[in-house]
Amino acid sequence: MRIETPPHVNPEQVVDFDFYHPCEAGGDPFLAWKTLQDGPEMVWTPHNGGHWIATRGEQIKELLTDWNQFSSSCAFIPPSPDRPRGLPLEYDPPEHTPLKRMLAPAFLPKAIRHWSEEARNLAVELIEGFRDRGKCEFIEEFAQQLPIIIFLRILDLPEEDRKPLLDSVNTNLRPASEEARAKSRAFMNDYIDRLIKDRRENPREEILSAALMTEIDGKLLDDDMARGLTSGLLGGGLDTVASSMGWMAMFLAQNPGHRRQLIDDPLLIPNAVQEMLRRFSIPNIARVVREDMEYHGASLKAGEQVLMSGCLHAMDPEIFADPMTVDFTRKNAPRHMSYSTGIHRCIGAQLANQELGIFLEEWLARIPDFGLDPEDPPEMVTGIAHGINRLPLIW
């Protein structure tokens, strides 16, 4: 939905930028976002109901951490009345703290070690399944298998739910149309309600059951909060690592020198994971302005949304030297925003880092030389998160 520019917006700050469609189909969304840094620190777009975009890294970090001025109560654009409020993602202090704390036991070091071992075994099994073929479609055959199967095991969900859940999450994050988003949302809401009912009646040894049985201030989560918790778990667990893995694989397919670096010195892999997470930072998340204010030359009104893209923080030369270059030996770099920051930093970041490192270790040990299929180019997509729909690789 496109709206008229409100009178308090300076015309020089208006940009014709739809973050669901920032470039031509098949174009590089990161480069499209980068063009916003040629203009003001704050810009306003009439697309998707109208919203602000912070274009500089310093502002993005400030917006993500200053919950006194910028609320997390609606983290997605455009707002959707039929979507449950994500928990703990869309809660501010003081409510946020106990909500996030109840999830912490699932991500203690012992649990991370267990799921990392499972991920390594699965990575080897998947790679060996197609290595002799000399090609694969990386997204379907690996990126949407490894982290997502592990996530389903963490929640004790049947593996056959993988495909319908993936389709729904992908449509919600990167919809082809509002009709498709509405249909997908209806499917997910029904799935969530059935899952909550099952875990309340038949709790299991997993994170969702434990959270649903946890009392906060003497009360269990009500239905709306239970929906928000389940929605947040599914949204994060079914896309983030898979999307990041796709961007990493595409970069390495195009850059044999970087592949050789990691093969010759595997100790670089943890740093390489962080550097590629930085350069290909996928999330586009919003905050809500609490009260009227002047902010970096923009007149913000209470209730307006401000969009922050992790990639704009990553591509800001004031934050990172030579930001467009991927440097596996980059030293003393600030923390990237791929996992957000502050109180809303992703609770599953450590497991995600482990899975991405395992991917690089096990893939490069078995398929050291690979490239893009010249007859079947990648299909890049974007929206609430930058992603890749298809990535055919050959070796």
Q: What is the pLDDT of residues 353-373, one digit of tens each?
A: 999 999 999 999 999 999 999
Q: Enter the pTM of the model.
A: 0.96
Instruction: Please answer whether residues 125 and 358 qualify as being in contact, where contact means their C-beta atoms are separated by less than 8 angstroms.
Output: no
Share of the chain above pLDDT 90, in %: 92
pLDDT over 90 at 92, yes or no: yes
CA–chain centroid gap for 41, Å, is 24
pLDDT band at 178 (very low <50, low <70, confident <90, very high): confident
Model confidence at 177: pLDDT above 90 = no
- Res. 176 pLDDT band, cuts 50 70 90: confident
β-pairing verdict for 135-137 and 42-45: unpaired
Whether the Cβ atoms of residue 282 and residue 385 lie closer than 8 Å to each other:
yes
At residue 150's C-alpha, the angle toward residues 146 and 153, to 5°, is: 145
For residue 175, the model assigns a pLDDT of 87
d(CA 215, CA 383): 35
State the Cα–Cα distance between residues 57 and 116, nearest whole angstrom.
Answer: 32
Residue 33: per-residue pLDDT? 98
Q: What is the pLDDT at residue 39?
A: 97
Contact present, 104 and 347 (Cβ < 8 Å): yes
pLDDT band of residue 67 (cuts 50, 70, 90) is: very high
Give the pLDDT score at 25: 84
Distance CA 372, CA 250 (A): 7
Which amino acid is residue 243, in one-letter code? Answer: S
Mean pLDDT of 341-353: 95
Q: What is the per-residue pLDDT for 15?
A: 98
b/e per residue, 112-139, with b = 16+ CB within 10 A? beebbebbbebbeebbeebeeeeebbbb
Query: How is residue 267 annotated by DSSP?
Result: G
Phi, psi of 197 (to 5 degrees): -60, -45
Q: Given the structure tokens 């930058």, which residue do they identify? A: 386
Q: Which percentage of the chain shows pLDDT scores above 70? A: 100
User: For 296-324, how does the pLDDT look when each residue is reduced to its tens digit (9 = 90+)?
Assistant: 999 999 999 999 999 999 999 999 999 99
CB neighbours of 330 closer than 8 A, spacing ≥ 6?
271, 275, 320
pLDDT of residue 1: 84
172: confidence class by pLDDT, cuts 50, 70, 90: confident
CA 223 to CA 189: how far, in whole Å? Answer: 12
Q: How far apart are CA 269 and CA 274, in angstroms?
A: 9
DSSP state for residue 69 in the 8-state scheme: T
Tell me: the pLDDT tens digits for 213-256?
999 999 999 999 999 999 999 988 889 999 999 999 999 999 99
pLDDT, greater one: 172 or 193: 193
pLDDT on residue 82: 84
Is 90 exceeded by the pLDDT of residue 81? no
Distances (CA, A) of 286 to 90, 249, 289, 327, 338: 10, 28, 10, 29, 14
Nearest partner of 340 among 97, 151, 60, judged by Cα: 60
Judged by phi (left if over 0) then psi (alpha if -120 to 50, else beta), residue 245 lies in alpha
Domain 11-394 superfamily per CATH: Cytochrome P450 (1.10.630.10)
Distances (CA, A) of 63 to 38, 277, 341: 20, 20, 10
Whether the Cβ atoms of residue 227 and residue 84 lie closer than 8 Å to each other: yes
Report the C-alpha gap between 385 and 170 in whole angstroms. Answer: 9
State the Cα–Cα distance between residues 116 and 110, nearest whole angstrom.
Answer: 10
Distance (Å, whole) CA 120 – CA 359: 8
